[in-house]
Structure 1
Amino acid sequence: MKPQKKRNKSLEKFARSPVIIRNIMFMFLFNKIYGLKKKKAVFTSFGGKWYSDNPKAISVKLHELYPEFEIVWLFKNPEEKQAIVPAYVRTIKSDSVKALKELATAKFWVDNFGKSKYIYKSRSQVYIQTWHGDRGFKNVLHNVPKNIKKHYLEEKKCDLMTAGSTTGKKKLSTAFVYHGPFLEFGSPRNDQLIEDSQKRKNDIKDKLNIPVQAKIVLFAPTFRKVNKGEKQCVREINLTQVLLKLKDLTNCDWKCLVRAHPGSSPGLSLEKNKDQNIIDVTMYEDMADLLLIADLLITDYSASAGDFVLKKKPVILFQPDRERYLIEERTFYFNIDESPYMVAKSQDELIEKIIVLDEKTAKKNCEEILSFYGAYETGKASERVVEYMHSESC
């Protein structure tokens, strides 16, 4: 009797959800009436917030290699993206009826965040999940202890995932309870880190009004629940002191870019970090660009650390609140103290780590971190995904 009662409650909950029913019915009808466009792909990044990350890298490469493909992006505020996205991209408001039609008639879906399980996907459609942190610290989805065991669309409907390491593949398999195929050539967003184009770096600096010759330290703290819906506050770190020490050690001019997590409200509360050489780049569209131009990364628990080491430049984890973070926020996939990462738990420790840094030490440390993860980034991940899409469209 109990299993039957559970089923009945689930059906009642579904019946009380007109939006869910509408979405599924509309997508089913759109799919059957209009059919599929074999050379059409719909992209979404971070739930429609950004034109960025792995989906952007694939989108750009798809147009470069196969310009006949129709490329659609779903955004929460598409009008704000008109000046950012290329002319060949059509922008549609996410969670709209038009978005449902685009999804229902596209051969390919590409996402880095996850889709609602209450949408219709035909057997002829291809869903590619790239996620947004192959080598992240924080447990996600089913890997979170005491997580409510719910189903994700990816478990049953995803056709392909990308991975850049043995660690990343294992994480995605268990987090989504996914048993399908992987393209194991890297994370598409990291291709440009491996290519390391000087022209690309100069263009990004120019866009940010930063002198080409300036050195960059990027400070990228991750999300805290306390910051949800408000500005992310930066208290424990003194970035002015960091810049002064770097200038003293290298005899170069340094700028500090500070990027809050996209889950926080726009902007940062920098408190004692008000300095003309400290620039808030929270609203810069793509984190991959900032990693490309950085010469030093300071973060806490962000997956960006596992990407940045591809540049063989120094990364320091600044974690003055780790014990509190583990209690109040998230648990980790591994014990950070048993990993090769350089960790500072105070401002004094951070300065000490900076003082002993040199090119040879940083390179060796990055290689140890990549080995720790079992990384296999090739610089060709976007191309491999695009070639897969092309073969499936024929």
Structure 2
Amino acid sequence: MMKLVRLIGSLILLPLYWFSYFVPRNPKLWVFGSWFGKRYSDSSRYVYEYVNKHEKDIRAIWLTRDPNITKHLRSQGYEAYHVSSLKGYWYTCRAGAALFTVNITDINTLGASKLLKFQLWHGIPLKKVVYDDVYHLPEQHGSFIRQKLLKLKKLLLPFKDVYGKWDLVASTSPAVSTIFRSAFRLSEEYIPITGSPRGDIILDSSTSKPSIIQDILTDGEGGITKRIAYFPTHRIHTEELSRFINSLETSGVPEFLEDQQAVLYIKLHYYNLEQHNHAIRPKRIVLLQEHEVPDINYLLPWIDILITDYSSVFYDYLLLKRPIIFTPYDLSEYLTHDRELYGNYEQLTPGPKCGTWEEVLTELTKLFSGQDIFFQQRKAMLEQYHTYSDTQNSKRVTQKLRSLLK
């Protein structure tokens, strides 16, 4: 019944989509959105702020579903509207370009009939994404009739096609372009190597220290010599992740952190925050909340050692040329139930592989004593996956858009 109601609602809204096709576009008006319109973060945010600061002739508008984000941006002197508001729709109709982090629902889908769509994406994929992700792509599942109905729905209701057809997808290197050609079904000419705007934040020496870093363990409480971060990727089933994190307390890691005057920050993917049952107590192990660090790219420059599993965060962290430890404790299960990868995990990950926190402790001990045997492998991967290691990626994205909107 609910599906029928949604279908009727979509048919009622369809004229608004076709109306947007006839609205004149303004090449100097760009709209931005991120993470289904729910967050103010990631590459579209960085380009939005760059344009506001450096490209004064461009009218940059942020679209969101969160009124708190709208209020915050307006207080900063930026222009922002609710995605589904009349202005959100109208300015999407008028925009010459839109910049995304995830998919078309980052902005107002009804007004997006013929604007130039620039997909900035949210990282270099280790896991298969979009059309390569056979586990989650609806067209890959169900009966023959269901698959045909889904294709018919996309044809009749193009604003419901969340992946859509991108005009441009930003890449960081030829190796990444090869992945994106397959994932987005685009030819190379539509995948410019601009670098990821994430890199601008990670490498910018003026990036301010997040308040959570400043507030925890001040000098009066012993100080901090090293900051370690554990950033796992999201999962469908989180039981093993919870057990892995909860095993920290008896692993010897808390004592090691105390001896070394180090701290371990844990930040779960925001998809899994409410599903995790944690019992973290040691003061030098800090479970970060979403409101404390809504965007980890501002945190990465302050991290000395990264621990992760299948998250693409390690590709971004390569820019900093610092050690990475991998924890594929549930690799077989992950590959079976969550995602396939773009290659062999062992070959794609430039660091030691640990199945327990005791093994992580062994690798941390080596790193603290100066043994970093994966330095050259990380350097090689940095060169392979990042053509640029500067802070000009947002500028290159902007220049590419300008060249197409003349």
Percent identical among aligned pairs is 21
Gaps of 5+ in 2: 141-150
Q: How does 1:68-217 map to 2 (within 5 A)?
A: 68-80=57-69, 82-83=71-72, 87-115=76-104, 119=110, 121-123=112-114, 125-134=115-124, 136-145=125-134, 147=137, 148-149=139-140, 157-179=165-187, 180-195=189-204, 197=205, 199-202=206-209, 204=211, 211=218, 214=224, 215-217=226-228
Does residue 275 of structure 1 match 2:297?
A: no
**DSSP 3-state at the match of 1:255:** strand
1:175 deviates by 1.1
1:172 deviates by 1.6
Q: Hey, what does 2:362 align to over in structure 1? A: 352
Is the deviation greater in 104-113 or in 59-68?
Answer: 59-68
Number of equivalent positions: 369
Q: Hey, what does 1:292 align to over in structure 2? A: 301
| Larger fraction in helix | 2
1:42–1:72 contact (8 Å) kept in structure 2: yes
Is the deviation greater in 108-117 or in 297-306?
Answer: 108-117
2:209–2:299 contact (8 Å) kept in structure 1: no
The 2-side partners of 1:18 and 1:282 are apart by 39
Q: Hey, what does 2:51 align to over in structure 1? A: 62
The 2-side partners of 1:210 and 1:64 are apart by 35
Does residue 32 of structure 1 match 2:59?
A: no
1:333 deviates by 1.0
Per-residue CA deviation, residues 127-155 of structure 1 (Å, 9 max, x unaligned), is 11011121x22111221246425679698
Does residue 317 of structure 1 match 2:323?
A: no
The 1-side partners of 2:82 and 2:240 are apart by 27
1:71–1:90 contact (8 Å) kept in structure 2: yes
1:216–1:293 contact (8 Å) kept in structure 2: yes
2:37–2:64 contact (8 Å) kept in structure 1: yes
**DSSP 3-state at the match of 1:235:** helix
The 1-side partners of 2:295 and 2:229 are apart by 13
C-alpha RMSD of matched pairs (Å): 3.2
1:43–1:110 contact (8 Å) kept in structure 2: yes
1:36 deviates by 2.5
In structure 2, do the counterparts of structure 1 residues 112 and 85 end up closer, same or farther at CA, with 3 Å as the change threshold? farther
User: Which amino acid in structure 1 is aligned with residue 354 of structure 2?
Assistant: A
Gaps of 5+ in 1: 1-12
1:232–1:267 contact (8 Å) kept in structure 2: no
User: Which amino acid in structure 1 is aligned with residue 178 of structure 2?
Assistant: K
Q: Hey, what does 1:6 align to over in structure 2? A: none
In structure 2, do the counterparts of structure 1 residues 98 and 113 end up closer, same or farther at CA, with 3 Å as the change threshold? same
- What TM-score, normalized to structure 2? 0.79
Q: Hey, what does 2:229 align to over in structure 1? A: 218
Per-residue CA deviation, residues 369-394 of structure 1 (Å, 9 max, x unaligned), is 324x4431332211101222344455
User: Which amino acid in structure 2 is aligned with residue 259 of structure 1?
Assistant: K
